[in-house]
Structure 1
Amino acid sequence: MTTSPDEGGQLRQFTELLTFRLDPFQVQACEALERGHGVLVCAPTGAGKTVVGEFAVHLALAAGRKCFYTTPIKALSNQKHNDLVRRYGAENIGLLTGDQSVNGDAPVVVMTTEVLRNMLYAGSEALQGLSHVVMDEVHFLADRMRGAVWEEVILHLPEDVRLVSLSATVSNAEEFGGWIQTVRGDTTVVVDEHRPVPLWQHVLVGKRLFDLFDYDREGKQHLVDPDLIRHIAHRREAERLTDWEPRRRGPGRQGGRSGLSRPPARPDVIASLDREGLLPAITFIFSRAGCDAAVKQCLRSPLRLTNDNDRKRIAEVIDRRCGDLAESDLVVLDYYEWREGLLRGLAAHHAGMLPVFRHTVEELFTAGLVKAVFATETLALGINMPARTVVLEKLIKFNGEQHMPLTPGEYTQLTGRAGRRGIDIEGHAVVLWQPGENTAEPSEIAGLASTRTFPLKSSFAPSYNMTINLVNQMGPEQAHQLLERSFAQYQADRSVVGMVRGVERGEKMLSEIAAELGWDRRANPDREPPILDYVRLRAKISERERAQSRASRLQRRAATADALAALRRGDIININQGRRGGLAVVLEPANDPADPRPLVLTENRWAGRVSSADFAGITSALGSMSLPKRVEHRQPRVRRDLASALLSASTGLMVPSARRRRGVGDEPADIDPELLELREAMRKHSVHGLADREAKVRIGERYLRVERDNDQIRNKVSAATNSLARTFDRIVGLLTERGFITVGQERSDSGMGTRGGDPRVTADGRLLARIYSESDLLVAECLRTRIWKGLGPAELAAVLSAMVFETRGSDGPTPSHAIDMPTQKVRRALVETRRLSGQLRADENRHRIAPTREPDEGFVPAVYRWATTGDLAAALAASDVAGGGTPLPAGDFVRWCRQVLDLLDQVRNAGPEAGLRATAKRAIDDIRRGVVAVDGG
């Protein structure tokens, strides 16, 4: 790409349009862009990274070229689209987000990253004239589910396209930048850790706000504030003394925690922040229900954060955004309580909310009309909603499997929302001190606030869709080369550098040890001295002996368990191990053959259950004796009398000590013939008779230890350096078996016979190449086997929902038997889908490929009801498949409907039959209505 003859001219024109001066890092990045470089900009939230992306837009428009601006989520795309429209006009800016297409042929198009990936694989004509691509929030490539998309785009973009990568502060920015430079050419890495608005750290204890750090006159932090430590110690001491007082119950008094130990109520926290001039604030609560409960708690209090003028403006925004919602849906959506919260300056923000509600909250908060928002951590992922203060109620969150402490990176990302550039001179992070066992100590909070560790780890791995597209576009050899250029492989290769050095050190040690044996290992690598052969032989013997010993122990244990399981009431046995040793009589036989534990009484009057651990070998009955019908073995007198009867009955039986001398239960094991051969070979070996044999053996054993360690390291290196290529090859093998790829036959170079040609994508493979879903191969299998043929629009939507839906917070898919299927056709189609899924997972296990997720039918009744009736209340009621009175939140319902829409759109484009494509089109129309169609973005 050529540089403008007026060096720096475009940047001057751009800055003249701005109302603020650029920071040094912004100038550095923009200058690099104007020189024709790509850039990677890593800077804190709110530092102004997006200005660099906007300059890329300016450069593209000035040169009459195109710029694509990509974001990880639709809400960000909507927001950026609105920003650019205000600056450059609607005619120059387009929007593509999967379910929205606005002015897609414009010179500047904002889109989600997946849309660009799909365009690259399809070879879209829209790529013609593309000069710049902005990847906002590029650190999303660490996302476990979607991260691979970012690397696919970076690797597939044409070489002449300049990449502008915008990332949150990551601790391995240089490593990431080094990779981008490797795969994209000239790339300037700009790292800025300076926050434009300083961030002050606080701890709220009760209603008192303390600084977390003890700052000096220059504002530099040192140790934790001693006043904070003393105050917490005093509260704990007061709580301890309170615990000693007797609990009085009377009118108006309740048991339980004292006022000292209760965390402050949410209205009190907000009121405290208001008094300190710290609103607007975002309080992060790691639970959707917790966010909604916080608003309800505040609504029950007298708390009001708005005046009459604020309330008038808030009402106008609500009416404008929500005017298209049906009156019948408003009650279902708790609209009036939500509206009341907004009018009082309060709101929740989480993914379970209706999108139009969430976007209304964002607009009102950004305008300064809503002063307190209770949000889940999803708000921290790029949405432009900065606040003066960020509050963290707890420093522990549920990660989907267990409750885990926040990492320093998560703490930094959440508190990064505090401090509005151009509005606040400083931002504030407030952690609530919660009394109790799980509270974070001030020193722990200080550790989180002081650490800036947020390493970027690649989540890239070949998928079915990626593999089929790579085979279609470039063939296996070039695909291997592309996989080797991924950030995942780049990181793996860097990780093995230390291991390779370890191998080199090991090789040097081996040569030194070999010299002690008189062997020049480098000059004569194939002429090992006899001592090493002898040591290897001894090592084989030792391993064989250990294996035989383990086998003997297992056999003895199994035989003992069988013998215990065979014992009957009244049998007399000998316990030959442990402190309960001696004669015993069986009172109750074992009731579990897998773990037999008969109840016995010993000659020493102990009664209890015994197991194979009480026997050194096989035990069998020595004889038997008569027992009363009921034996009350817990009574001392009964135990005494029965022990006496046992000793009398054992008269004439073999004495236990004599049995132990004869080794009963410890019979000699069968000798392994291979072990005998190895021992014989060792005795005949030339080294066996040497006088200094053991001294040389010790040297040889040292050699073998280093050699073994080196081999283990080499295996690790091999696993790391070729892992992506091996996964790709396994997927190609499975797809070839299933007919999505074929290996053609080519005539050999000699003209005699044929040989295997390069893999080629079949017609079924081209179908798979157009399916972008976590269950891409299963969807393609269902389409090509026609098992969804004959379904109506609502039925097709219901069946497709099983491909995308995941039951939230469960251990797996909703059991199909627990779901009331809407029609027989849906039931049959899902039975066939599950059958194909089972076959596919079996093949994946055989090929050692991560299994495709199982279909989850939990959304089937809800989406069918919505598609047939458009009745939100009925659809939400149908989503409660467990019957526990907990239907899906409206926001989740809309989100899953939109994912079904996305897959329906793929079926509409890729379906092998015209009838199925037409059905998908009608299903799209039936679902995209009402709350699903109202976006509010």
Structure 2
Amino acid sequence: MGPSFAAFAAGYDFALDDYQVEACAHIEAGSGVLVAAPTGAGKTVAGEFAVFLALQRGRKCFYTTPIKALSNQKYHDLVERYGEANVGLLTGDTSLNGEAPVVVMTTEVLRNMIYARSRTLDGLGFVVMDEVHYLADRFRGAVWEEVIIGLAESVQLIALSATVSNAEEFGAWLAEVRGAVAIVLSERRPVPLFQHVMVGRRIYDLFEDSGREVNPELTRLAKEESKYVRDDSRRGRGRRQRDRIDANQAKRGNDRPTLVPRRDGAIEKLAAEGLLPAIYFIFSRAGCDAAVGQLMNSGLRLTTPAERDALDDIAARHVASLSDDDLEALGYRSFAEALRRGVAAHHAGLLPAFKEAVEEAFVRGLVKVVFATETLALGINMPARTVVLEKLVKFNGDAHVDITPGEYTQLTGRAGRRGIDVEGHAVVLWQRNFDPRMVAGLASRRTYPLRSSFSPTYNMAVNLVGSVGRERARTLLEQSFAQFQSDASVVGLARAVARNTERAAESWAKAVCDRGDFAEYAELRAEIGRLEAASARARKDDRRAETLSALLELRPGDIINVPSGRYAGWVLVVDPGLGNTREGPKPLVMTTERQLKKLTITDIPAPPVVAGRLRVPKHFDPRQAADRRNLFAAFSSKLREVDLTPTASGRGEVDADTAARIADLRHELKSHPCHGCPDREEHARWAEQALRLERDSATLRAASEKRTNTIATRFDRICTVLEALGYLEEGGRAVTPAGRLLARIYCELDLVAAECIRAGLFDELTAPELAAVASTLIYESRGGDQRRPARMPNRSTEIAQSALRTVWREVGLLERDHKLDKGRDPDIGFAEAVFAWASGEPLADVLYSSDLTAGDFVRWTRQVIDLAGQLADAAGPGPLRETSREAIVRMRRGVVAAAYDEDD
């Protein structure tokens, strides 16, 4: 090892692991390095060595992290070691000593520096990318690849990753785009992990002592339980009845035992076994909060008097900047009381100040159990002695699915604190129909493949063209990890084509007919089927498009006729439901039976025609019986005045050319010699199978051809759209002034935002109104967020939002013409809340009216602040810049301002 490493290693009071020594040797020799090791294994030592070398050699080192909390944590660590003069922090919100030789920053900040060709990059020798596996993140992962591709060749890259099963593939890509990059892997956990299952109040080892075989006692329990389930099924018992029987038997202590542990009982058992502190994963925010409440109600106390005093101090310090009224609105007393008992929740819905208090208290060993969602597994350093998994199923936004081996590895990787615990423990709680073998499979497989989420965006395109030109930009994008993985998959596609070809030949052999060429006959049948199906789809698509267009034009108070289906008849539109993004509008309507129903496009088979209109009170509340009664009376009265003759909307007809072609083919089919074969249908089955295999092969070949330039093709299409709208000069060779505007906007609907600025759509809005309308470009409702219809806060914002949706639709049509996926729908679900906040309303009123958690409210408000800052930068001097800045000042108050203070 070199002299630099010897001096560096002398600063640690423990011997470095072999893989850490190996990684540092590569860095000192001038090579980049990918270090993949389990959570808590100390891979950041490699990044810290890069910092040491930069200071020793008079070079700069940028230390990047995926989230601000990690940046803050790393900044304080490095300041403690090297002093404030040598270390800076840049997170977008915070700028401290940005020209220091060592700067900790979020990855987005470095990406923006590269695009702007910032002078701060001068003298940069090393970039550490901590948690580089974040490049798989669907929303933000592309930033990592932009940085890796865009950094100067002279910069040494130190990539630190959790254990991934395709590290060699990722390392090979890094070597291809960065030059010399060594791969250093470590599978060894510094603290051994033991796997358990808790059944009732007893903890079993998952595996036998002899090896990796499942504990036979767990297998026996599973068989016994399945017998009871079968018996219950024979007796016709429902779930609720079985649960009552379980509870009664548990009270009597006889017959069938209760195997599913209670949450309070599970924590008491872990405490008795010396297995605290623990992170207890529940895949639901509400579940985490409920678990804290259950432990509070049980009277469980896990802390000593001295620990309670320390916890009181931590909580008070983190909320010091909040008013008493805000604390009351946030339920601070309940939070603080749970905290002082050693219990807390941790999830994205938690206020940042509360979350920071929990994290500090847990790291100091004062909080004994944290009920957390899986987002904690990807967050800051919060290891525990034990990790508990209540269930092995989670809701992914669409359905309840089993967690993957990779997710299991990530979650349980938190167990075992280096330097504190001699071993870590993962405890899975028994649930009904528990399968120990399935758990053993999760615990045994260390599969966590890294998959690129990279895809060019409009903002990325103008930034790349502006910094390196179109041709060079295209070449850079072809070097992405996404492209690398796509090309590698071509081999698999080729194998599938070969298999299909062989099977198709066998099927054709079985379809041979002595009357004539059955392949020719089968093609005639297939062509007729294709034409008829295409014609039917075209009619359906036309009708759906007309209906969707009509639904988008609906306004509160419109009276329309639903021609058929469950809700056939006249209805009154209470709310057009334009905030429902992915599935299209979902209007809330009142029927002639006084019912309120939320309709979808499938409930309205034909374009609705407005037959009349009445005024829906602005503050109509569908939950109030009086409001419903009054509105129904007005609706009934209005129905007597309007023309109630439903407008006919005939069904589309098959176009004449298609009809004639189908008739010709049918005549040709009947004249074919194979048509009279007695075995015709038997031959047809084999022929259809062969044709299907050939179609599959054609699809695979097309996919294979596209794989070689998937990313570049999308980039070309994006550039064509940008040319059409004037963001790039003709031929896409240079960026226009409009393109420079777009280069400053980083939200998902970046092009829509830029078009709105150019159209002057925001110019006449007040600061609160701008915040409300801008929020629709970034906000995405979670399932269950909105318990009341979303709406814009006033007439000015309604007009602006309607104009914004028109811009969005026009951009969407252009994207469709250029074979690009349309951007997600604008979502108005946060508009009223952020308008109220920017207008100065109290936190309690805003939270009550929005149905949002405090953490979600703060998080989305900060994102609106970020976008307002981008709008100010993009717009340049003028009224919009001033309004945007005023909106930022109005939003950065109270709990939102405190969240920025927590970051600092």
Q: Give the structure-2-normalised TM-score.
A: 0.77
1:429 equivalent in alignment to 2:426: yes
- C-alpha distance in 1 between matches for 2:204 and 2:361: 30
Superposed counterparts of 1:76-475, under 5 Å? 76-216=70-210, 221-234=211-224, 257-258=247-248, 259=250, 260-261=257-258, 263-434=260-431, 436=432, 439-475=433-469
Identify the residue that residue 828 of structure 1 maps to in structure 2: 799
1:192 Cα deviation from its structure 2 partner: 0.5
Query: Deviations for 1:898-928, whole angstroms, at most 9, x for unmatched residues?
Result: 1011111111211144211111111111111
1:41 equivalent in alignment to 2:31: no
Q: Secondary structure at the match of 2:293?
A: helix
Q: Secondary structure at the match of 2:776?
A: helix
CA gap of 1:820–1:676, structure 2 versus 1, over 3 A, is: closer
Q: Percent identity?
A: 53
CA gap of 1:319–1:674, structure 2 versus 1, over 3 A, is: closer
Structure 1 stretch displaced more, 461-470 or 336-345? 461-470
Could you tell me whether the CA contact under 8 Å between 1:205 and 1:232 is conserved in 2? no
Q: Secondary structure at the match of 1:454?
A: coil
CA gap of 1:470–1:297, structure 2 versus 1, over 3 A, is: same
- C-alpha distance in 2 between matches for 1:741 and 1:168: 40
**Structure number, greater radius of gyration:** 1
CA gap of 1:540–1:365, structure 2 versus 1, over 3 A, is: same
Could you tell me whether the CA contact under 8 Å between 1:541 and 1:679 is conserved in 2? no
1:129 Cα deviation from its structure 2 partner: 1.0
Q: Which runs of 5+ in 2 are unaligned?
A: 238-242, 251-256, 505-514, 537-562, 567-659, 675-687
Q: Secondary structure at the match of 2:734?
A: strand
- C-alpha distance in 2 between matches for 1:77 and 1:555: 57
1:504 Cα deviation from its structure 2 partner: 9.2
Identify the residue that residue 729 of structure 1 maps to in structure 2: 716
CA gap of 1:379–1:541, structure 2 versus 1, over 3 A, is: same
Output the amino acid matched with 2:869. D
Q: Secondary structure at the match of 2:298?
A: coil
1:680 Cα deviation from its structure 2 partner: 11
Identify the residue that residue 611 of structure 2 maps to in structure 1: none
- C-alpha distance in 1 between matches for 2:516 and 2:321: 81
Identify the residue that residue 545 of structure 2 maps to in structure 1: none
- 1:70 is aligned, of 64, 87, 90, to 64
Per chain length, whose mean CA-contact separation is higher, i.e. which structure has more relative contact order (CA < 8 Å, sep 6+)?
2
Could you tell me whether the CA contact under 8 Å between 2:259 and 2:430 is conserved in 1? no
Identify the residue that residue 585 of structure 1 maps to in structure 2: none
- C-alpha distance in 2 between matches for 1:890 and 1:351: 9
CA gap of 1:271–1:481, structure 2 versus 1, over 3 A, is: same
Could you tell me whether the CA contact under 8 Å between 1:350 and 1:376 is conserved in 2? yes
Query: Deviations for 1:240-276, whole angstroms, at most 9, x for unmatched residues?
Result: 78999999xxxxx966744334732211111100111
Query: Deviations for 1:774-826, whole angstroms, at most 9, x for unmatched residues?
Result: 11101101111111002222221111111111111169x999xx445333322
CA gap of 1:709–1:553, structure 2 versus 1, over 3 A, is: closer
Identify the residue that residue 602 of structure 1 maps to in structure 2: none
Identify the residue that residue 861 of structure 2 maps to in structure 1: 897
- C-alpha distance in 1 between matches for 2:836 and 2:87: 37
- C-alpha distance in 1 between matches for 2:160 and 2:890: 39
- 1:927 is aligned, of 873, 878, 891, to 891
CA gap of 1:915–1:173, structure 2 versus 1, over 3 A, is: same
Superposed counterparts of 1:701-780, under 5 Å? 713-743=700-730, 759-780=733-754
Q: Secondary structure at the match of 1:400?
A: coil
Query: Deviations for 1:343-400, whole angstroms, at most 9, x for unmatched residues?
Result: 1111111110110110110000000011111001111003100000000000000111
- C-alpha distance in 2 between matches for 1:554 and 1:737: 31
Output the amino acid matched with 1:127. L
Identify the residue that residue 857 of structure 1 maps to in structure 2: 828
1:289 Cα deviation from its structure 2 partner: 0.8
- C-alpha distance in 2 between matches for 1:930 and 1:704: 66
- C-alpha distance in 1 between matches for 2:374 and 2:663: 63
Could you tell me whether the CA contact under 8 Å between 2:196 and 2:425 is conserved in 1? yes
CA gap of 1:14–1:233, structure 2 versus 1, over 3 A, is: same
- 1:11 is aligned, of 5, 8, 18, to 5
Identify the residue that residue 910 of structure 1 maps to in structure 2: 874
Query: Deviations for 1:860-885, whole angstroms, at most 9, x for unmatched residues?
Result: 11111111215211221232xxxxxx
Could you tell me whether the CA contact under 8 Å between 2:416 and 2:424 is conserved in 1? yes
Identify the residue that residue 762 of structure 2 maps to in structure 1: 788
Superposed counterparts of 1:620-631, under 5 Å? none
1:733 Cα deviation from its structure 2 partner: 1.4
CA gap of 1:132–1:674, structure 2 versus 1, over 3 A, is: same
Output the amino acid matched with 2:852. L
Output the amino acid matched with 1:876. L
Could you tell me whether the CA contact under 8 Å between 1:814 and 1:856 is conserved in 2? no
- C-alpha distance in 1 between matches for 2:435 and 2:740: 58
Could you tell me whether the CA contact under 8 Å between 1:141 and 1:459 is conserved in 2? yes
- C-alpha distance in 2 between matches for 1:544 and 1:353: 63
Q: Secondary structure at the match of 2:213?
A: strand
Query: Deviations for 1:672-696, whole angstroms, at most 9, x for unmatched residues?
Result: 657889999999xxxxxxxxxxxxx
Identify the residue that residue 802 of structure 1 maps to in structure 2: 776
Superposed counterparts of 1:659-698, under 5 Å? none
RMSD: 3.6
Query: Deviations for 1:217-262, whole angstroms, at most 9, x for unmatched residues?
Result: xxxx331111222344456657878999999xxxxx9667443347
Q: Secondary structure at the match of 1:21?
A: coil
Query: Deviations for 1:472-527, whole angstroms, at most 9, x for unmatched residues?
Result: 233332222112111111111111134457779999999xxxxxxxxxxxxxxxxx
Identify the residue that residue 645 of structure 1 maps to in structure 2: none
- C-alpha distance in 1 between matches for 2:262 and 2:533: 63
Query: Deviations for 1:435-468, whole angstroms, at most 9, x for unmatched residues?
Result: x3xx431111101000111111111111111112
Could you tell me whether the CA contact under 8 Å between 1:793 and 1:923 is conserved in 2? yes
CA gap of 1:242–1:87, structure 2 versus 1, over 3 A, is: same
CA gap of 1:393–1:594, structure 2 versus 1, over 3 A, is: closer
CA gap of 1:703–1:70, structure 2 versus 1, over 3 A, is: same
Output the amino acid matched with 2:824. R
1:31 equivalent in alignment to 2:25: yes
Output the amino acid matched with 1:227. E
Could you tell me whether the CA contact under 8 Å between 1:214 and 1:223 is conserved in 2? yes
Identify the residue that residue 613 of structure 2 maps to in structure 1: none
Output the amino acid matched with 1:489. Q
Output the amino acid matched with 2:748. E
Output the amino acid matched with 1:410. E
Q: Secondary structure at the match of 2:182?
A: strand
CA gap of 1:360–1:670, structure 2 versus 1, over 3 A, is: closer
CA gap of 1:539–1:237, structure 2 versus 1, over 3 A, is: closer
Could you tell me whether the CA contact under 8 Å between 2:135 and 2:145 is conserved in 1? yes
Q: Which runs of 5+ in 1 are unaligned?
A: 1-6, 248-252, 511-534, 557-591, 596-668, 684-700, 744-756, 880-886
- C-alpha distance in 2 between matches for 1:113 and 1:492: 25
